[in-house]
Structure 1
Amino acid sequence: MSDRTEFLDLTDPEVAKEAVADFDLAGDAETVPLAEADGRVLAERVDATMDVPGFDRASMDGYAVRARDTVGAGEADPATLDVVGAVHAGEKPDAEVGEGTAVEVSTGAVVPPGADAVVKVERTERRGDAVDVRTAVTPGENVMPAGDDVAAGERAFGPGTVLTSREVGLLAALGHEEVPVRPRPRVAVVSTGEELVAPGEQLNPEAGQIYDVNGRAIAAAVRDAGGEAVVAPQVPDDRDALAAALEEYAGTCDLVLTSGSTSAGAVDVLGDVVADLGEVHHHGVAIKPGKPTLIGRVAGTPYVGLPGYPVSAQSVFRAFVAPAIRAAAGRPPLETPERQATMGTRLRYDEGRDRLLPVGLVTNGDGDALAYPVDKGSGATTSLAHADGVIEVAAETVMLEAGDAVDVRLFGTEVRPPRLLGVGEDDPTLWRLLDAVDRTRYLSVGSTEGARRLDGGVPDVAVVTGDDVPGGERLGGWTREWGLVAAPDAGVDSLADLVDGDATFVNRSASGLRDALSDAVGDLAAERGKDRAAVADGIAGYDRVTRGHEGPARRVADGDADAGLGLRSTAERLDLAFVSLGDQPVRVVASADRVEKPGVRDLATALERAPEAVETLPGVSWGE
């Protein structure tokens, strides 16, 4: 009489999945060197602590000039400038550009003082100590301003971001030596069976020996899912040996996996061993392949027994175990490496050559994927860090219209559209709100551009100052105190002091703060019976701009200016003086067809729970 048994009560696959999903495999966050961070998942938000680039950078080989000195220049009537020096990448300029002069520069070099543009070398002709400029340039042309890639204080990445080479590159550009990451679950991989031989060892097929496929394959799958695989030596189908191995690895790992010895055969004893050492939750699942799957705990440690056949073992791992490991490691579920989408915006392209266009993905109200260009140029690390994949644009393509179908080649199998895509104003209170929303992407483009993009139908939400966006639905907001951030000894106590005195100033680039300052200058001009432009011209540095809400304050803190435009919260954090010029409402507006999107709902919930669940910064009050 045989002692072989059969499975009589098979578990529903969904129940088995839930049982594995309920295992708590996550540990405490850890800090790792940036060199070891590839593939890890951020445990908390990482902010930019510096401008990237940290200086006004030449984007082309050529000559740094004052744009006004090239007005009217052309092939027939070039502007001739005296060359007073040269500066290359990695050098500090030792010459200054003045009226009628130029400095030779190479790509990546610091733009010398006095210059506000770079003329491509192809549009010039050098003649001894002079250069003929055969084209006119505008201020800022061929120059990447300091902070244009990433501005100090800007939210670089949020918790849950999977760190690939793109993100690691941006973190390196920001000077981060180490980063906080989610721990990788330690997973023991134990292959059982008398017939198994480790690859590389002598095999005896006549004795029924086979190489251990599952040990290597499942260990690779564990690593691919974000776990740390601990591969054990092969264990024979012996009760005492199995018990000793399970107890050993249960004491040092977060999850124990075995393959083989789980079926109802006479020599398959794992079910009894697990029951003796802990508890069996499910033995036998109504799935093919994978029926012998065993789920339980060994000495309190989560345990899954995979079938012995490699196809069955890997099928069960992918279906039941990989999602639990990925969730514990903070990794998103897998997706296919190519995604069909439609263009969310119109894109003109007429360079006459093939192109791999970096694009981001977002889902609209119907769940369809929209692709939008993410491209700041070759020198900007965010072109890839904020993209999900690329579109191949053929040389003969002139235009991609909004609504055109495109195939997006994803950067990896883990790439998915963000649950929330936001655009608009950058603000430290916003960063705290976004921390409550899983897998977000936010593009700091200013209020005006944010409203335009929301109206264009690509982002989920826009964060704006001023009027609401037509067709949008307001989710909530807050009020922030803004004004002048000044050095304590600068003697700046009012906006009038900037106009009437000699203090130097740093302004913001296009933003709600810049708009508020412009209005304040207009009010001062009206009080004095003067033209707004005349009053603005009286502020030394009014046209000197930097990106990010912390940008001007950072310049002041570094001694590069006496005062700058900023927020009270920034001034207090950097120990600078603050001159209040008013309170500004900040509104979060959702696209009308996205209000029920999960990421949008999460942001709305975070707004509703403020200030209890969100830190209130100095100068901030809730409710717009």
Structure 2
Amino acid sequence: MTFSQQQFLNVIDRDEAEQRFQAAIQLDHVGEETVDLQTCLGRVLARDIISPVDVPSFDRSNYDGYAVKAADTFGARDEDPRKLRLLAEVITTAVVPVSEITTGSAAAIATGGMLPRGADAIVMIEHADLDADRIVARKAVTAGFGITFAGTDISAGETVLRRGELLTSRETGVLAAVGTHTVPVLLRPRVAIISTGDEIIDPTEAMKPGLVYDSNARILADAVRELGGEPVSLGIVHDNEIQLEEVVRRALDSCHVVLLSGGTSKGAGDLSYKVIRQLKDPGIVAHGVSLKPGKPICLAATQGKPVVILPGFPTSAIFTFHEFVAPVISRLAGRAQQRPATAAARMAVRVNSEIGRTEYLLVGLVQRDTETAEGVELSAYPMGKGSGSVTTFSRADGFITIGQHDEIVPAGANVNVCLLGRETRVADLVVIGSHCVGLDILLGQLQDAGFHTKFLAVGSTAGLEAARRGECDLAGIHLLDAKSGTYNRPFITEDLTFVAGYRRQQGVVFRPGDTRFSGKSAVQAIQDAAGDENCVMINRNRGSGTRILIDQALAGSEPAGYAVQARNHNAVAAAISQNRADWGVAIQSVAEHQQLGFLPLADEQYDFVSPVARSGRSAVVAFQQLLNDPGLREQLTAMGLRQDLAGQTS
């Protein structure tokens, strides 16, 4: 028997192959479905989850004790206690209190009990005695002591999870906490896996000379699962062209992606390419790529569906899968493609490479005895064993890329190692500071672009301080300088980069129809409310830009409810909607979303600052570019957020 080997049609470089392939396929999500909370673990959210409730949903007591007005206890001590009239009602859990705490009164309350109207603190039971129909408070308390306020954890209307997030046990706990029992998730793309070749047998069969177990199918199926896909194993097809055509046709009819393992080199016994070359629209787009390992890969598509013949050797199959197929499955599954984790290292030995092919060299990492300013120094050792090794990939820590024009990597050379495993992932972008619904939109789009983001709502002042300490990549601020009457820029120091954001309207928020506010200016409404002890406000947390604005408007007065602080605009709106407060200050878009009344108070600027040392990071640059995106500008404008110099730095 003679063996004829046909050469590759046209070996092209990796980037051209990827460009051709992705231009020929459909990369939109394959659809969505609704699943039960009990079965959503490991799925990808199809839509943002907005909490319909506050968590906790009411102001509750943290202790067994007495609900009081804090001011009634001021000065209390063992030698000079304060006596308060005890109301008849005993407030237990799961009961809505009917009593109202007025000056000089108190009500018994259990841990977890709902706070009655008028109360703003809890006297612990061990700090009070009973005296007939009175309590004797032996210790003073401050407003807010012993209380967990509604929305302290989560506020109604708050975006608690964003589309595209992978649901782990942490996220499912959040879903349960806000009462979401059916979850919108993206469909898993179905990926057909076909093994080819007379020499391939299933791992359940007895080994015979000249045969090999089908390890590729197992590796590929689990890799598909890790990427959020649903593997569909169509078994082993031996060298029978008619049978292979039928299996491929069935795969195209029932799956979103078709993978064949083996049969790419166009030898006499390889039939995969003969079957795939019959595909049209457009058919084969690349057959042969200048890679090592992975040269014989075949990339094709038909009517937008990807069809790929991976090399038969395990390491070649895995590398080419991760290079060309994994990004496609991630996109179809709705998972943002993760940028590979990397580690700096030094090559331990000299490595020779082949000119003309980009080489991916698997390496193992070991710690060196020396340390650098960045931490422990690493050495990289090549793993070797070639493209046919099953164990090389599983044992390697990562790989380095050797360019097609590089022939030698000398010992001691600095190399960048792409890590194969990532048990934990730090955020690509950390934002600390003031909360804004516009920032929610920005972070959501960055998440879609593949950046893992984290946001901590601590207020403008704390955010600015965090940026100065280098603890974040960006801080969102809206700080008014009393002397100049301008926002944010007066607070910028030489160690910070200023990033222009957008303007938004702050104002007095109240329930529609409340005649104490309707028809008035914001300034007049605040003055009138401050003088009405029955008109209860909801304040903002100290250090926030909104709190600074409130204190300036109040000019030193502290109306009813002043000591009760909400942590964001949504929490303010929720307190007013639920009749726990009568008024507060928040941005217009939140008031409109909650269908509340709004009196304009100030047109403020919401901007960002970045530590100079971090301002060049890719995630920060992407954030600035996003601020200039026309589509995003339209979204922000529709929410009442206006941009002038968005994204510009100084």
Q: Distance in 2 between matches of 1:483 and 1:50?
A: 24
Q: Say whether the 8 Å CA contact 1:45–1:435 is kept in structure 2.
A: no
Name the SS of the counterpart of 2:277 in structure 1: helix
> Which segment drifts farther, 480-489 or 312-321?
312-321
Residue 275 to residue 618, structure 1, CA distance change in 2 (3 Å)? closer
Aligned partner of 1:432: which letter? I
Residue 58 to residue 4, structure 1, CA distance change in 2 (3 Å)? farther
Residue 515 to residue 479, structure 1, CA distance change in 2 (3 Å)? same
Name the SS of the counterpart of 2:606 in structure 1: strand
Residue 15 to residue 622, structure 1, CA distance change in 2 (3 Å)? closer
The equivalent of 2:576 in structure 1 is 556
Q: Say whether the 8 Å CA contact 2:61–2:109 is kept in structure 1.
A: no
Aligned partner of 1:313: which letter? A
Determine which of 166, 170, 176 is the counterpart of 1:172: 176
Cα deviation, residue 222, structure 1: 0.2
Aligned partner of 1:413: which letter? R
Q: Distance in 1 between matches of 2:342 and 2:621?
A: 28
Q: Distance in 2 between matches of 1:452 and 1:181?
A: 39
Residue 414 to residue 14, structure 1, CA distance change in 2 (3 Å)? farther
Residue 118 to residue 334, structure 1, CA distance change in 2 (3 Å)? farther
Q: Distance in 2 between matches of 1:432 and 1:304?
A: 36
Q: Say whether the 8 Å CA contact 1:41–1:331 is kept in structure 2.
A: no
Determine which of 430, 444, 451 is the counterpart of 2:439: 430
Q: Distance in 1 between matches of 2:241 and 2:54?
A: 62
> Which segment drifts farther, 301-310 or 58-67?
58-67
Task: Confirm whether residue 480 of structure 1 aligns to residue 504 of structure 2.
Answer: yes
TM-score (norm 2): 0.71
The equivalent of 2:528 in structure 1 is 497
Q: Say whether the 8 Å CA contact 1:4–1:264 is kept in structure 2.
A: no
Aligned partner of 2:276: which letter? V
> Which segment drifts farther, 8-17 or 309-318?
8-17
Q: Distance in 1 between matches of 2:292 and 2:344?
A: 29
The equivalent of 1:417 in structure 2 is 426
Residue 619 to residue 218, structure 1, CA distance change in 2 (3 Å)? closer
Task: Confirm whether residue 519 of structure 1 aligns to residue 543 of structure 2.
Answer: no
Identity of aligned residues (%): 33
Determine which of 574, 581, 587 is the counterpart of 2:594: 574
> Gapped runs of 5+ residues in structure 2?
346-372, 376-420, 481-487, 646-650
Q: Say whether the 8 Å CA contact 2:68–2:106 is kept in structure 1.
A: yes
Cα deviation, residue 209, structure 1: 6.1
Name the SS of the counterpart of 1:222 in structure 2: helix
Residue 566 to residue 282, structure 1, CA distance change in 2 (3 Å)? closer
> Gapped runs of 5+ residues in structure 1?
341-366, 370-411, 523-531
Task: Confirm whether residue 456 of structure 1 aligns to residue 459 of structure 2.
Answer: no
Name the SS of the counterpart of 2:636 in structure 1: coil
Task: Confirm whether residue 257 of structure 1 aligns to residue 290 of structure 2.
Answer: no
Residue 62 to residue 457, structure 1, CA distance change in 2 (3 Å)? farther
Aligned partner of 1:53: which letter? P
The equivalent of 2:381 in structure 1 is none
Aligned partner of 1:566: which letter? A
Q: Distance in 1 between matches of 2:276 and 2:15?
A: 22
Aligned partner of 2:469: which letter? G
Determine which of 42, 67, 74 is the counterpart of 1:39: 42
TM-score (norm 1): 0.74
Could you list the per-position Cα deviations for residues 103-159 of structure 1 after superposition, in whole angstroms to 9, with x for gaps in the alignment?
3433x44344454345667x6698899988776543323432211112234343444
Q: How does 1:578-589 map to 2 (within 5 A)?
A: 578-589=598-609
The equivalent of 1:623 in structure 2 is 644
Determine which of 316, 319, 328 is the counterpart of 1:324: 328
Cα deviation, residue 446, structure 1: 1.6
Cα deviation, residue 77, structure 1: 8.7
Name the SS of the counterpart of 2:108 in structure 1: strand
Q: How does 1:199-598 map to 2 (within 5 A)?
A: 203-206=205-208, 212-278=214-280, 279-287=283-291, 289-298=293-302, 301-329=305-333, 330-333=335-338, 413=422, 415-438=424-447, 439=451, 440-465=453-478, 466=480, 467-468=488-489, 469-471=491-493, 472-491=496-515, 492=517, 493=520, 494-501=525-532, 502-510=534-542, 511-522=544-555, 532-533=556-557, 536-537=558-559, 540-598=560-618
Q: CA RMSD, aligned part only?
A: 4.0
Q: Distance in 2 between matches of 1:334 and 1:567?
A: 36
The equivalent of 1:53 in structure 2 is 56
Q: Distance in 1 between matches of 2:90 and 2:236?
A: 67
Aligned partner of 2:173: which letter? G
Q: Say whether the 8 Å CA contact 1:97–1:103 is kept in structure 2.
A: no
The equivalent of 1:614 in structure 2 is 635
Q: Say whether the 8 Å CA contact 2:100–2:118 is kept in structure 1.
A: yes
Name the SS of the counterpart of 2:193 in structure 1: strand
Cα deviation, residue 608, structure 1: 3.3
The equivalent of 1:526 in structure 2 is none
